[in-house]
Amino acid sequence: MTDTKVSPFSGKLLMFHGGLLTGVGIEQYGFSLATAMRRDIGAKYSQLITEMLGYSDDGVNLMIKNNWLEQPPMIEIIR
């Protein structure tokens, strides 16, 4: 332990790990939804997936705001 006030990890790294964990959580809820035998539990999983997607959207908006999200490679259209 040190008495430093500066975080040893960057915000970009923490956002990456947060997004990764959110994606894994959505994946696990999807798997649970696919294997659930009861309709009431399936409805609850669907609600949780929707909430997690909203949380994920907030993370993407934060990354866009901080210019951490880059545009993926695009296909060049030849005319």
42-54 residue pLDDT tens: 889 999 999 999 9
Cα separation, 67 vs 18, in Å, equals: 17
pLDDT on residue 74: 74
pLDDT on residue 67: 86
25 within a domain of the structure (yes/no): no
Write out the residue range of the structural domain in which residue 58 sits: 39-65
- Is residue 59 within 8 Å of 19, Cβ to Cβ? yes
Work out the average pLDDT over 13-31: 92
19 within a domain of the structure (yes/no): no
pLDDT on residue 60: 85
φ/ψ of residue 17, rounded to 5: -70, -35
76 within a domain of the structure (yes/no): no
pLDDT-based confidence at residue 36 (cuts at 50, 70, 90): confident
What is the total count of domains within the chain?
1
pLDDT on residue 7: 80
2 within a domain of the structure (yes/no): no
- Is residue 33 within 8 Å of 45, Cβ to Cβ? yes
